[in-house]
């Protein structure tokens, strides 16, 4: 980082993808971490780039009324949370606005404001994270995270966004793992099963069971086996709440008040937007441990999961062993989709990593032309890019729904529903200024 060279006053107007607030000074875009929209601040310029400045806030001259005191004593120092200084309604509003901005600027969707629904949030946005990778200082056995922007160990004895069962593990192992030949300790907890996974094995902590290879967790009433390294949604803490009316009838829910996690709501949203019919063939692309394939299979003729990781496919096969209409393909999604022409899939679920879909995946989808696509994304920038390509090829975006899987952070999960409609190709191509 460059040394501080100047101080400026900035009116901040919106939230940026990545967590900063955005303003402009003399036509130059300015990014201000730990500031909020509708604030006026005095800040020091720390980086000057050709098209933006990075600043460090020195004084808040006019605060957003929704600014709150962060709960965590290492907020700003730890790299994990970006928005603990904003009350929760503002966090949800900022997440929606970031999705709108990315769709408009990157995807060229002039109608982005109308496409993106209000973000669905938690009742209690704390203590939800069920999977944590702790950094380990091998000399003294300090366990924690890393200082923001560095690899230096930041010892912590609690984390307010982490499930209490994992915090208890942290306190048990703190300073007892010196000399362990690893830089990280992974802890996962099944919020709805009580299963605990701690890796690697910790011989110095004999009172704690460690070294497990898998655990189970529950989603929409169905149990899933998850291997140590496999992906599964991190927010499975259930809360008493009404099922949103738009999602009623999806999954094993009755649509009334009940105990639902954000992962339950995400899965219910996918099923509702998929609108699967009994004779459908549905593809679950990037299927991981087979979550969506298992949930959709009872509704359709055939579910086909595609996953590159052989270990994840083994989990997926275990998770669907009671279902006779599910099969899995171990391959890259772009390769497997291209070979499915004879299956004539009527709907596809996409749940890629942050990098989004490979160009060959989009090309294969445009060749198959399934009736519906439901795209689950954790990165609004790559989502916007991929939606533009799909819509230029004949799809129409019906709606984009942010679901807050990661409160107190800038991370955003969305579910986008698309339908095949070649007549709509020209309706969404106007580029936003």
Domain CATH for 383: 3.40.50.150
Residues 173 and 215 in one domain: yes
- How confident is the model over 158-175, as pLDDT tens digits? 999 999 999 999 999 999
Residues 119 and 151 in one domain: no
Query: What does the alpha-carbon distance between residue 20 and residue 15 come to, in Å, rounded to a whole number?
Result: 6
Residues 160 and 294 in one domain: no
Beta-carbon contacts of residue 114 (< 8 Å; ≥ 6 apart): none
Residue 399 pLDDT: 97
Alpha helix ranges (H) inside 155-281: 164-173, 262-274
Residues 286 and 161 in one domain: no
Check pLDDT > 90 for residue 428: no
- How confident is the model over 10-56, as pLDDT tens digits? 999 999 999 999 999 988 999 999 999 999 999 999 999 989 999 99
**Confidence band, pLDDT 50/70/90 cuts, at residue 423:** confident
Q: Catalytic residue among 72, 159, 191, 378, which?
A: 378
Rounded to the nearest 10°, the torsion over CA 232, 273, 253, 319 is -40
Among the listed ranges 39-43, 285-289, 354-358, 428-432, which one has the minimum average pLDDT value? 428-432
Which of 195, 227, 259 is a domain's end point? 227
What proportion of the chain, given as a percentage, has pLDDT over 70?
Answer: 94
Report if residue 71 sits inside a domain.
no
Residues 165 and 250 in one domain: no
Report if residue 99 sits inside a domain.
yes
Residues 259 and 305 in one domain: yes
Domain holding 61: CATH number? 2.40.50.140
Note if 378 is an active site residue.
Answer: yes
Which of 227, 254, 288 is a domain's end point? 227
Which of 21, 48, 66 is a domain's end point? 66
Report if residue 204 sits inside a domain.
yes
Count of domains for the chain: 3
| Mean pLDDT, range 120-147, rounded to an integer | 96
- Global pTM reads 0.94
Reduced to 3 states (helix: H, G, I; strand: E, B; else coil), residue 428 is coil
Residue 386: closest CA among 361, 367, 368: 361
CB 107 within 8 A of CB 26: no
Query: What does the alpha-carbon distance between residue 358 and residue 361 come to, in Å, rounded to a whole number?
Result: 5
Residues 277 and 368 in one domain: yes
Report if residue 182 sits inside a domain.
yes
Residues 250 and 338 in one domain: yes
Residue 272 pLDDT: 93
The dihedrals phi and psi of 374, each to the nearest 5 degrees, come to -120, 120
Report if residue 75 sits inside a domain.
no
Check pLDDT > 70 for residue 142: yes
With 0-12 / 13-18 / 19 or more C-beta atoms within 10 angstroms meaning exposed / middle / buried, residue 403 is: buried
Domain holding 136: CATH number? 2.40.50.1070
Residues 214 and 254 in one domain: no
Residue 255 pLDDT: 56
Give residue 211's region: left, alpha or beta (phi > 0; psi -120 to 50): left
Report if residue 72 sits inside a domain.
no
Asked if the peptide bond before residue 200 counts as cis, ω within 30 degrees of 0, the response is yes
Query: What does the alpha-carbon distance between residue 100 and residue 400 come to, in Å, rounded to a whole number?
Result: 9
Residues 27 and 149 in one domain: no
Residue 416: closest CA among 361, 378, 367: 378
Residues 105 and 50 in one domain: no
Report if residue 263 sits inside a domain.
yes
Residues 415 and 285 in one domain: yes
- How confident is the model over 305-356, as pLDDT tens digits? 999 999 999 999 999 999 999 999 999 999 999 999 999 999 999 999 999 9
Domain membership of residue 189 as a residue range? 131-227
- How confident is the model over 220-265, as pLDDT tens digits? 999 999 999 999 999 999 999 987 776 665 544 455 678 999 999 9
Report if residue 278 sits inside a domain.
yes
């Amino acid at each position: 980082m460059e040394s501080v060279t100047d101080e400026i006053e900035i009116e901040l107007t919106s939230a940026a993808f990545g967590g900063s607030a955005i303003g402009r000074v003399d036509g130059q875009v300015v990014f201000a971490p730990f500031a909020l929209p509708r604030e006026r601040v005095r800040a020091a310029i720390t980086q000057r780039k050709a098209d933006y400045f990075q600043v460090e806030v020195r004084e808040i001259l006019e605060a957003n009324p929704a600014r709150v005191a962060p709960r965590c004593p290492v907020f700003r120092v730890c790299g994990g949370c970006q928005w603990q200084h904003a009350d929760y309604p503002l966090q949800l509003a900022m997440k929606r606005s970031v999705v709108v901005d990315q769709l408009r600027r990157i995807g060229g969707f002039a109608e982005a404001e109308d496409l993106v629904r209000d973000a669905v949030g938690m009742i209690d946005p704390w203590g939800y994270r069920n999977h944590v990778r702790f950094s380990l200082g091998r000399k003294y056995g300090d366990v924690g995270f890393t200082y923001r922007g560095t690899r230096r160990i930041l010892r912590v004895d609690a984390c307010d966004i982490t499930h209490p069962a994992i915090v208890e593990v942290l306190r048990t192992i703190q300073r007892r793992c010196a000399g362990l030949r690893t830089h990280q300790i992974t802890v996962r907890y099944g919020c709805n099963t009580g299963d605990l996974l701690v890796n690697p094995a910790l011989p110095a902590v004999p009172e704690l069971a460690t070294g497990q290879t898998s655990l189970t967790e529950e989603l929409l009433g169905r149990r899933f086996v998850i291997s140590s390294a496999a992906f599964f949604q991190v927010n499975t803490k259930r809360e008493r709440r009404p099922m949103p009316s738009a999602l009623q009838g999806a999954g094993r829910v009755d649509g009334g008040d009940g105990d639902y996690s954000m992962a339950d709501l995400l899965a219910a949203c996918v099923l509702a937007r998929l609108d699967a019919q009994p004779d459908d063939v549905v593809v679950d692309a990037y299927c991981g441990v087979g979550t969506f394939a298992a949930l959709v299979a009872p509704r359709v003729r055939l579910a086909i999961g595609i996953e590159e990781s052989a270990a994840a496919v083994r989990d997926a096969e275990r998770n669907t062993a009671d279902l006779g209409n599910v099969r899995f393909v171990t391959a890259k999604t772009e390769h497997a989709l291209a070979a499915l022409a004879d299956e004539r899939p009527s709907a596809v679920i996409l749940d890629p990593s942050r990098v989004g879909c490979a160009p060959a995946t989009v090309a294969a989808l445009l060749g198959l032309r399934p009736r519906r696509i439901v795209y689950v994304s954790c990165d609004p920038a790559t989502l916007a890019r991929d939606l533009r390509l799909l819509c230029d090829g004949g799809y129409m975006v019906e709606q984009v729904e942010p679901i807050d899987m990661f409160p107190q952070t800038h991370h955003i999960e969305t579910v986008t529903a698309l339908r095949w409609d070649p007549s709509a190709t020209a309706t969404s191509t106007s580029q936003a200024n």
